[in-house]
Every structure is written in C-alpha cells, then in structure tokens.
Structure 1
C-alpha cells in the first residue's frame, strides 16, 4: 500500500511540473507563435513530457490491483 502512495505522489509531482511548463510556454502564443508552432515546440521540450508520465504513474497507482 505504501509503494502505491509513493508512486501516486511522484506521479502527481511530475504532472504538476509538466503542466506548469506547458502553461508557462503558452506565453509564446502572445509573442506571435501560431497554435501549430506552439504544439511543435511543446513536442520538442522534454519537460512537457513529464505531464504525460505523471498521469500514467497516477493511473497505474490507482487502477492496477495489488498482490494479496
């Protein structure tokens, strides 16, 4: 049970970091970048992948059964 909590909290932290990075880069739209350019830029940034990795970790911690 404790390992699932650690995985969940780690996933939550990663998704917060990735989400904040993606939101921070939204300022590029105000600087004149198009939406397609923004998406291309986000797909090149490693820290934005933390959002997806965190969501996967949280989902795994919640939905995968434990061994008993």
Structure 2
C-alpha cells in the first residue's frame, strides 16, 4: 500500500512539475537564452516537483516491504 502511495503521489508531482517546466519554455521565443531559462526555472519551487516526483516514482517501484520476495520457494 505504501508503494502505491509513493507511485501515485510521485506521478502527480511529476505531472505538475513537468507542466510547469514545459509552460516556462515560452520564455525561449521571447528572446531569452537557454542559460537564462535554466536559471529561471532553478528558482521556481514548482519546477522542483518534477525531480521529486521522479524520485518518488522510483522509490514506489523499487522499495521492498517487510515481506520476503521469494515466497514461491
């Protein structure tokens, strides 16, 4: 159940962060360079949700519970 929580919460965070990163891509046609874009999104809190969500998804997939994984033997 904890794994499902990490997976779904991480997915939600990754979606929110990914949409924010993509939405701020509109700065590039406005005349800003890639360096300014990266500097800008590094200062935005909502953009940090993308790596946090990816980490949470990874934890939800790869963490193990208290049960023995070799229960078939």
Query: Quick check: TM above 0.5?
Result: yes
* Structure 1 stretches of at least 4 aligned residues deviating more than 6 Å after TM superposition: none
SS at match of 1:61: helix
Unaligned runs of 5+ in 1: none
Coordinate RMSD, CA, aligned: 0.6
Which residue does the alignment assign to 1:51? 50
Matches within 5 A, 1:1-68: 2-68=1-67
The 1-side partners of 2:52 and 2:28 are apart by: 25
Unaligned runs of 5+ in 2: 68-73
- Number of aligned positions between the proteins: 67
The alpha-carbon deviation at position 43 of structure 1 amounts to: 0.4
Report which of the two structures shows the higher radius of gyration computed on alpha carbons: 2
The alpha-carbon deviation at position 28 of structure 1 amounts to: 0.3
